[in-house]
Amino acid sequence: MSVLRRVVGLVGVVVVGVAIQAGSAAGGPGDTTWVNTFSNDLYNWATPHEQTFTFPAERNWRKVLLRYHIGCPPTPDDCDPWDRIGYLRVMREVAGGAPVADEQLVIEPVEIARIITPYDITGPNRPGTCDWFLDVSDYQSLLHGEVTLNNYIESWIGGTRGWLVTIDFAFIEGEPELIPYKVTNLWNQYYAVYGDPTRPIEDVLAPVDVAIDAEAISAKVKVTTTGHGQGNSQNCAEFCNKQHTVTANATNFTHNLWRNNCAQNPCGPQGGTWTNSRAGWCPGDKVDPWEVDVTGLIVAGATSTFDYSVQAYTNFCCPCNPGCISGATCANCNYDSNGHTEPIYAVASQLIQYKTNLASDVATLATPTRAVLEQNVPNPVQGSTEIRYQIESPGRVRLDLYDASGRVVRVLAREHQTAGSYTVRWDGRDASGDRVPAGVYFYSLASGAGASTKKMLLLE
């Protein structure tokens, strides 16, 4: 398959299989347009890097993937050896809320990806670089034409150490079953203090009213939350297991913000305590959003109310507690930017609205199919592996396998299925029956309610 490359402004676009000009509908299903944005960009201080890039013209894509790569400055310099939050945002123009006659546009950030940098990854038997792939298909309405991206890593290392960041986007040809056409910010609070009675977290995570479009037939709430801070009561917020709740029109959805699989992330081994369980914060891994299907709770053309809450908690080891005594009731009552830091949550959330795609062969489905995709077993793969998934209502589903370039290697399922559990075995071969090379592969389950993607490693 031929690989063509052209340069558009500051962006290199690599098209696999066919050249796709801006605004063109050329290209077959599975063909991929690669867009490079930040390239070996050095981050060594908590300063956002903002730049405008040229993306393909507005159109529907079956899937949009984001590749986030970090590396280290060459010897004698090195990476920042500490775990830091990093997030990528699209900076879009929106109405500023003034009267229509003199309405002003303001810049609004929309977070589309979050990662946590690893501990030390240089030295014997350590990876030296890290790669993460994130599914950003829900944000494709923001990723066309001239796009301003704001990338941030909260590093304080300074000097010539830090992270070299490269971010690429893969736009994969094909028609989605539903079009994610509208993104509405719900909560963007990167320093929501937890457990301080003088600063209730509810004050910064207040209810939000959203007008649902008349053409919306489906919707989901996406929430990306990470906890940070230690040395507090119950060692919150990074190391305490708490429940988080999204409320949609008085219906509650509860999520346990806890990861006990940090050791399985793709950026290991590392130095430090990277394998410890944490509240959404695994050093050296991407942060997957919590997705809540609210299709059955919204009414097209009406207003819906969304709220976000966290399990009740009081931090007694803080300056806010007059009864705290250092060395007695708590090890330290004062934050010291080291072993005792203020418990906070970083929360970014949006409502994604979908409309019918008349070009899709399943666009007439009245009810989106809710589906759950599991990690393949075994992983890494030697020989063959099983992929399991469940669908909660009858509907059209599609299970596809991709290589690291975003090319469809094999269609594993594409049919209407009844509710239930399914198992698909992959034997390491492509659609032609040929063995595929060892490496990283992705499998994606798509239904009317959206898509879920997971990664596997195929060994020789």
- Residue 417: pLDDT band by 50, 70, 90 thresholds? confident
pLDDT at 20: 32
If we measure between CA atoms, which residue out of 399, 400, 402, 431 comes closest to residue 417?
399
Give me the CATH number covering residue 402: 2.60.40.2550
For residue 283, pLDDT beyond 50: yes
Domain boundary, last residue among 364, 387, 415: 364
Burial (0-12, 13-18, 19+ Cβ within 10 Å), 221: buried
Q: Looking at the DSSP assignment, which residues form a beta bridge with residue 403?
A: 441
- Weakest-pLDDT range from 13-22, 289-298, 339-348: 13-22
- Weakest-pLDDT range from 83-87, 316-320, 328-332, 407-411: 407-411
Contact 278, 259 (CB under 8 A): yes
For residue 102, pLDDT beyond 90: no
Tell whether 104 and 226 lie within a shared domain: no
Domain boundary, last residue among 130, 157, 174: 174
Give me the CATH number covering residue 322: 2.60.120.230
Tell whether 280 and 140 lie within a shared domain: no
Average pLDDT score over residue span 39-61? 96
Domain boundary, last residue among 341, 364, 387: 364
- Weakest-pLDDT range from 54-58, 75-79, 97-101: 97-101
For residue 454, pLDDT beyond 70: yes
Average pLDDT score over residue span 310-318? 97
Q: What is the 3-state secondary structure (H, E, C) of 130-157?
A: EEEEEECHHHHHHCCCEEEEEEEECCCC
CA–CA dist 401, 408 (Å, integer): 6
Strand 385-391: give its sheet, edge to edge: 371-373, 385-391, 420-426
pLDDT at 359: 64
- Weakest-pLDDT range from 11-15, 92-96, 275-279: 11-15
Average pLDDT score over residue span 311-317? 97
pLDDT at 133: 95
Tell whether 82 and 28 lie within a shared domain: yes
CA–CA dist 78, 57 (Å, integer): 39
Count structural domains, the chain.
3
Tell whether 442 and 359 lie within a shared domain: no
Tell whether 168 and 202 lie within a shared domain: no
For residue 335, pLDDT beyond 80: yes
User: Per DSSP, which regions of 96-200 are E strands?
Assistant: 105-116, 130-135, 146-153, 163-172, 178-193
pLDDT at 29: 65
CA 358 to chain CA mean position, Å: 28
- Global pTM? 0.74
Tell whether 285 and 198 lie within a shared domain: yes
pLDDT at 450: 64
pLDDT at 99: 54
Tell whether 340 and 300 lie within a shared domain: yes
Tell whether 380 and 347 lie within a shared domain: no
- Residue 8: pLDDT band by 50, 70, 90 thresholds? very low
For residue 342, pLDDT beyond 50: yes
Mean pLDDT of the chain: 87
Tell whether 305 and 379 lie within a shared domain: no
pLDDT at 418: 83
Share of the chain above pLDDT 90, in %: 67
Question: What pLDDT digit, counting tens, does each position of 350-387 carry?
Answer: 999 998 876 654 433 344 457 789 999 999 999 999 99
Buried/exposed code over 366-399 (b: 16+ C-beta within 10 A; e: otherwise): eebbbbebeebeeeebeeebebebebeeebbbbb
Q: Which carries the bigger pLDDT value, residue 143 or residue 438?
A: 143
CA–CA dist 17, 278 (Å, integer): 42
Tell whether 360 and 373 lie within a shared domain: no
For residue 12, pLDDT beyond 80: no
Burial (0-12, 13-18, 19+ Cβ within 10 Å), 446: buried
For residue 281, pLDDT beyond 80: yes
pLDDT at 360: 57
Q: Which two tokens stand for residue 295?
A: 């299709």
Tell whether 14 and 161 lie within a shared domain: yes
pLDDT at 3: 30
Contact 124, 270 (CB under 8 A): no
For residue 106, pLDDT beyond 90: no
Domain that residue 442 falls in: 366-460
